A and B are shown apart, each in its own frame.
Chain A
Amino acid sequence: MTTRTPRWQHPQTSHGRSSNDTHVAVGIFYAYEAELLDHWDISSWLDLVSEDFVYRVPVPLLTDDYNQDGYDTQSLLMDEDRSSIEENWAARMTDEHNAVSWADSPPVRLLRLVSSVRVRHTDHEGEFLARSNVRILMVRQSGAAKEMFGERFDILRSNDEGFTIASRFVVLTSTIIDAPRLRMLL
């Protein structure tokens, strides 16, 4: 496979792990964050992300190299920011637009399981690289449950009330995405 200059890569840090207290706080933050997303309350969820928030999901890729990250550094499945999520995702879950937001009416029912939270310091005081595993069970209409799952790489900034998500990069584990809805906040 010809190596190309990476366009997209997961955030990394050379710093060590943060305190157990921070791990507990991030775990609690993720539990309440998942509650908002599971109930499609994207408007409230946007209060948890920074003004410069970006959300990227690279295309999963299996190469012949044993030492691989499991995704393509060139192509993306999703690339969103705060305003695009507000205008194109949250707006579909409103009285004004939901009736013609066909894939969201009725909405896919969701259950997120977030685990293996690992929080490390970064070069910036009060900013953390939080890695976690996420599994989302998805039920479309009366169909059988399907799922998306992967590893999340978040940049979190601490504030008086907890944390703000500055970026989220999610590496999906499956190379073939078999879910009733690919457009998901993981």
Chain B
Amino acid sequence: MIEVRQLVKVFDARGQVVRAVDDVSTQVAKGEVLVVIGPSGSGKSTFLRCLNGLETLDSGSVSIDGLDLSHPKTDVNAYRREVGMVFQHFNLFPHMSVLDNLCLAQQVVRKLSRADSEAKARALLEKVGIAQKAHEFPSRLSGGQQQRVAIARALAMEPKVMLFDEPTSALDPEMVGEVLDVMKTLALEGMTMVCVTHEMGFAREVADRVLFFDHGKLLEDAAPAQFFSQPQDPRAQAFLRQVL
């Protein structure tokens, strides 16, 4: 479903060239859940952002169901409609109610009527367990609730793939569970997911494959059972010793 070929992303910070993503190739099958882990600065977030074009690719290609992001004729907005993204800091639109946060893109991008988009929004809010907050502003919600709204907002566009960029890192510990529960439900329903996260428990329990990144390179790609018990790469071994 997702096909990544020799992806390279270079950052040029005052003459200092950093290869944030260095020649990464992989593919994700439909319904697969990938967890991307690695130390900070390893390029895992940049890799994720390349998957929906928030970062421009320097070379290589990314495609979803044959739609090639790097092809000059590809409409990047049409491409992004297929890919939902959840951010570390939720990035809800603070000037809109929760309901409007979910309806905006449906109405503007998918051209749905207000009634249709609202019905969809309410169903999704029900699903993530915050239907009663539909008319609140995001600032009135806890972090965990905000992140669940953000997940619902992305789902409202009916994406083929969901990307999660450290979705629980900005949360108070007691709220991590409610967000992970929503993600687990999604995974069980067969959603194709790529998650950058530090939640090793989630990786172990839900992931089909774990990708380990360091210095922009994809060093290890294995099933969670194998990755956590017998990591092959020495840097992965060192990383696991620190976090487990």
**A and B: bona fide binding partners:** no
Which residues of A approach B to under 8 Å, CB–CB?
none
